[in-house]
Structure 1
Amino acid sequence: MSASPFAPFRHRAFFWLWVGVVIASIGTWGQMVGAQWLFVNDPNAATIVPLVQTASTLPMMLLALPAGVLADAFDRRSMMIVIQVYVVVVAALLAVLTALGLMPPALLLAFTFAVGAGQAMLSPTWQSIITELVPRSEFAAATRLDMVSVNVARAAGPALAGVVIATWGVPPVFALTAVTGSVLAIILLAWRRPTVPVTSRERFLPALRSGSRYVRHEPVVRTILLRFAVFIFPAGAVWALLPLIASQQLGQAASGYGLLFAALGTGAVVAALGLGPVKRHLSSNSLLTVAGVGFGAAFAGLALAPTMGVALPLLVVCGFGWTATVATAISELQLFLPTWVRARAIAIYLMVFLGTQAIAAPLWGLLTQYAGLRAALLTAAGLVAVSALTGIVLRVPDSQGLDRSPLAYWDTPRLALDPDSADGPVTVSIQYRLDDANRDAFLAAMPAMRRSRLRSGSTRWDLYRVGEDPHLYVEQFSVPSWAEHERQHEVRLTAEDKAIEDAAFAFVTGEPVTRHLLPATTTTPATTTPDGDPSRS
C-alpha cells in the first residue's frame, strides 16, 4: 500500500528541513524576479530580461554533476551549511550594491549567476539527503513533497517579490533572499544528523566519468532526457518571457507580474498533488503527450490574451502541463536507474533541465526583439505541440517488471597477483566456445552485453573470433583501474545485467573462461594461490 502523501512530515528532521528549503527557495525565486524587473523598462529589456534566467539556470548545467559527486564525498549537512552561508553573503552584497545604485546589467547577471551557483550546489545535495530522513516506503511521497516545495516557492516567491517591489522597490527583494537563506542555515545548524557509516568513496574525476558513461550507454535514459529536452526548449519561453507578457502585453506592474507567476505556480502545485489519480488511467507516454498538447494550446491562448482575467487561467493550465511533464520525466528516470549511479544521473537530468532553459532563454529574447512578443509566443506554443508528438518516435519503455536493484553475482577473481586499486587500465578477457548452430543467436545477444559492460564502468568493449579456432570467441572489455572493476563486482551490476549474461551464455558450449589482463608492472603476489578461473569475471 502506498504511503500517505504527507506521511514524511511525521519525521521531524524531514519536516523542518523541508520547511527551510521552501523558505530559502522563496527567496531565490524572489531574487530572480527582482533581477528581471530591475531592467524591465530598459531599452534592451528584450535581451537583458531573458539573460537573467540564463544566468540563474546556467550554473545548474555546469555544477550539478560535480555537486552530486561532492555530496557523496563530504558530510551533506556541513556542505549545505557552507552553501547557505555563501548564498546569504552574495544576496546581502547584491542588496547593498543595488540600493547604492551600483548595479549595471553585467554585474547583475554576475550576481545572479553567483546565486544560481549556490542553488546548483544545494539541489543535488538536498535530493540525496532526503533518503536519510524517511523510511524506504515513504521515498516516493517525500519526492513528491519536494516537488510541491519547488512549486510552492515558485508561486510564492514571485508573488511576494511583486508586492515588495511595488511597495519598497527592488533592493529589499535581494535582502529578503539573504534573510530566507539564513532561515535554512539556522535549521541546518540545529539539526543533529545521525552518524553515517564511512564507506569507500570514488575519486572525484572517475566518479564524474562513470556517471556520464552510464547515461551515454543507457538508451532508455537517453530517450527520457531527449524527450524532456525537446519539451523544455520551447516551453521554457513561458518563464523567460513572462515579465514582458506582464509589462508589454498586459500592462501590469510588478504586483501583476507576481500574480501571473503565482498562477503558473498554482497549476504546478495542483499537478504535483493530483498526478497520482491521473497516472492510474494514463501511461507515462500518454500523460507526456496530453500535458504537452495542453501546455501548447494554453500557451497559444496566452499569446492572444488581452486581459489578466484571460491570462491567469491559461497560466494555471501551463503550470499544470509543465509540472506534469517534469514529474513524469523524473519519476520514470528514477525507475530506470540503479542505485549506484542515481545521484549522478539525476544531476545530469538537472543539467539538461535547467541547461536547456539557459540556452533557450536568450534565443527567445532575440526572437522577441526582432519579430515581436506575440510571434515569439506563438512560435514557442507551436513547438511545444510538436514536441508532444515526438512521443510517437521517442517512446519511454514500460518499466513494469524491470529490476535495477544491485546484484553482486560475479565470482570473486582468483588471481596469482594482488593488484593495487589504482592499477590500470585492466582488461577482462572472456573466452566462449560455440557450435555453428548457435553462432547467430549468440552474436545477436552480444549488443546488449556491450551496453551492460559499458554502462557499468567499462571504457571499451570488443568481440573477436579466434583465427586458429573458428569455434572460439573472445570478449574483451577494459576498465580504467582495478578499483573500477571491483566496483563492477560489488555494486554496479543488477538483475537485468545478469539476465543479459544468461541470455548470451545459453548459447555457449561449456563454461566461459575469464582472464584478467593487468598492467605489466603489477608484481605483488596474491596472498592465496589461485585455484582456477571464475566463469564470470
Structure 2
Amino acid sequence: MASSLLSRASSLRALSHRDFAWLWTGMLVSNIGTWMETVALGVYVTEVTGKAGWTGGVAALAHLPSLLLAPLGGALADRFDRRSFMAVCVCLQGLLAALLTVLAATGNLTVPWVAAISLLNGALNTLVIPCATALTVAVVPSEDLHNALSLDSAQFNLGRIIGPVVAALVLTKAGIAGALFLNTLSFLAVLLVLSRMSGAVQTVLPKREALWAGILRGMKLAWEDPGIALALGTSFFVGLLISPFVGLVPVFALKVMGGDAATTSLLLTAQGTGAVLAAFGTGALVARMGRRGMLEASVLLVGLCSALFWLSPTLPAALVAMFFLGGVYLLAFTGLKTVCQARTPPELQARVSSLFLLLVNLGYMVGVWGLGMLSDRLGVRPITAGAALLFFGIVALTRALRPRGLAALGT
C-alpha cells in the first residue's frame, strides 16, 4: 500500500511546484475549450461539405503558419518576458474564439470563415506552444522535467477526454455557438494563471544577438546534436503518417462508422483516456524499461496501434484500438520532446521546442490533407492504415539496420 502511494506521488511530483501546478491547471481549462471547438468545427465542416479532403484541409490550415513562424516564435519567447509574450497571444486567441461565436450565433458561419480563423489560430498557437514549454522547463528542476512534460501531455489529453464529451452535450442543447462561447471563456483561465505566476518565473533576458542569428543558433544546435536531430526527424514522420488520425476522426466516425458528433466524441475520449493513463504510468515504465527503452517501444508500437484503429470493423473495436493508440502516442511524443529539451541549454530551449513544433506540424499538415484527399479517391481505411503500416516498417527497418544509432536518444 505504501509503495502504491509512493508511486502515485512520484507520478504527480512535478505538481508540487506551485507555478507548474498553476500553469498546468490553466492550460487544462483552455484545452478543454479548444477540444470543444475542434469537435464542433470538425463536425460542422464534415456535415456541410461531406468531404474528407475538406475536413483534413481545414485541420491542416491550423498548422500551416508553423512553417514560417515556429522558429520566430521560439526566438521571441527566448528574447522577451515569456509571461507577457504568452498573455498577448492568448488575448488574441480569445478574440478569434469570440468572433467564431458571433458568426455561429448570427447564422453567418461558413467553411471559408472557419478556414481563415483556423489559419490565424494556428499562427498564434505556433507562438504560444514553445513559450509554454519554456515556462514549464523554467519552473521545475531538471530531475522533474520528464515528469512535468508527461503531466503536460496528460492535461492536454484530459482536455481531449472532457472537451469532446462536453461538446457533444452542448452541441445537442445549445448548438455550435454554445460550444464556441465556452471555448472563448476558457482563455480567461490562462490569463489568470499567468498573473499568479509573476513572482516565481525567472525571466529570460533579451540577447544582444540579432533575431535571425538567434534562430540560426538554435538550428545549428539541433543539426549538430545527434540525439536532438534523431528525435526531431522521428517526430516529423510521426506527424506525417500517424498524427492525421486526430484531424480525420470526424471522417472515420461519420463516413466509415455511420455515426455522428457523439461517435466522434467517444473516439476522442477513448484516445484521451489511454493517453492520460499512460502519462500517469510513465514513471513506472521509465523505472522498468529506462527512458530510451520506453521511447523505442512506443515509437515501434504507435504504427501498429494506428493501423488497428483504422482497420477496426466495429465501433467497440475502434474504441479499444483508439485507447491503446492514445497511450503509445503520448509516450512516443513525450519521450521525443524530453530528449530535445534535456539536451538543450536553457537559453535555447524555446527555440528547440519551436523546431520540434515546426517539424511535427509540417508532417501533420501534409499528412492530414494528403491522406484526406487520397481517402476521398481510394477509401479511408486503405490509405490511413497503409500510412500507419509504412511508419511501422520505417521504424522496424531502422532499428534492424542501425541499432547503434538509436543510442543517441539517451538523455
Partner of 1:349: 356
The change in CA–CA distance for 1:137 and 1:231 in structure 2 (over 3 A counts) is closer
Equivalent in the alignment of 2:167: 161
Contact kept? 1:32, 1:52, Cα under 8 Å = no
- Residue of 38, 60, 64 corresponding to 2:66: 60
The 3-state SS of whatever aligns with 2:10 is coil
Q: Which residue of 2 aligns with 1:125?
A: 131
Tell me the TM-score normalized by structure 2.
0.89
CA contact (8 A) 2:157 2:272 kept: yes
Alignment partner of 1:98 out of 87, 101, 104: 104
Conserved in 1, the CA contact under 8 Å of 2:11 and 2:282? no
- Contact (CA 8 Å) 2:295, 2:331: kept in 1 or not? yes
Aligned residue number for residue 317 of structure 1: 324
Q: CA deviation at 1:22?
A: 0.8
Looking at structure 1, the residues matched to 192 and 230 of structure 2 have their Cα atoms a distance apart, in angstroms, of 41
Q: Do the aligned partners of 1:163 and 1:258 also contact (CA within 8 Å) in 2?
A: no
What's the counterpart of residue 141 of structure 1? 147
Q: Is the 8 A contact 1:159 1:262 kept in 2?
A: yes
Percent identity reads 26
Structure 2: distance between partners of 1:256 and 1:263: 11
Three-state SS of the structure 2 residue aligned to 1:252 is: coil
Instruction: Name the SS for the 1:42 alignment partner.
Output: helix
Query: Which of 336, 339, 363 is equivalent to 2:343?
Result: 336
Alpha-carbon separation, structure 1, partners of 2:203 and 2:96: 34
Contact 2:230 2:409 in 1 (8 A): no
1:252 matches 2:262? no
Is the alpha carbon distance of 1:391 and 1:176 closer, same or farther for their aligned partners in structure 2, counting shifts above 3 Å? farther
Contact 1:335 1:399 in 2 (8 A): no
Asked if 2 retains the 8 angstrom alpha-carbon contact of 1:26 and 1:156, the reply is: yes
Report the TM-score, using the length of structure 1 for normalisation. 0.69
Check whether the contact 2:138–2:202 (CA below 8 A) recurs between aligned residues: no
CA distance in 1, matches of 2:311, 2:141: 48
Task: Assess, with a 3 A threshold, how the Cα gap between structure 1 residues 197 and 359 changes in structure 2: closer, same or farther.
Answer: closer
Q: Which has the higher contact order (CA 8 A, sep 6+)?
A: 2
1:391 equivalent among 389, 396, 399: 399
Q: What is the rounded CA distance, in whole Å, between the counterparts of 1:75 and 1:94 in structure 2?
A: 30
Counterpart residue identity of residue 252, structure 1: G
* Residue 23 of structure 2 corresponds to residue 17 of structure 1: yes
Change (3 A) 1:122 1:239: same
Amino acid at match of 1:308: L
Structure 1 contact 69–344 (Cα < 8 Å) conserved? yes
Structure 1 position 65, deviation (Å): 2.1
CA distance, structure 2, for counterparts of residue 399 and residue 259 of structure 1: 35
Instruction: Pick from 80, 94, 102 the counterpart of residue 86 of structure 2.
Output: 80
| Paired position in structure 2 for 1:209 | 216
Give the direction of change, closer, same or farther, for the CA distance of 1:222–1:196 in structure 2 (3 Å limit): closer
Aligned-partner residue type, residue 250 of structure 1: M
CA pair 62-248 structure 1, distance change in 2 beyond 3 A? same
**Aligned pair partner of 1:370 in 356, 372, 377:** 377
Alpha-carbon deviations, 1:211-240, whole Å to 9, x = none?
A: 122223333322222223223311123213
How far residue 399 of structure 1 moved from its aligned partner, in angstroms, is: 6.1
Q: Which letter maps to 1:129?
A: L
- Tell me the amino acid that sits aligned with residue 301 of structure 2: G
Residue 21 of structure 1 deviates from its aligned partner by 0.9
**Number of the residue aligned with 2:179:** 173
Q: Please tell me whether the aligned partners of residues 77 and 131 of structure 2 are also in contact (alpha carbons under 8 angstroms).
A: yes
Aligned-residue Cα RMSD (Å) equals: 2.5
| Residue pair 1:35, 1:112 contacting (<8 A) in 2 also | no
Secondary structure of the residue that 2:384 maps to in structure 1?
helix
Q: Which amino acid aligns with 2:249?
A: L
Partner of 2:3: none
For 1:213 and 1:10, locate their aligned partners in 2 and report how far apart those are by CA, in whole Å: 35
Q: Which amino acid aligns with 1:313?
A: V
Aligned AA (1:117):
A
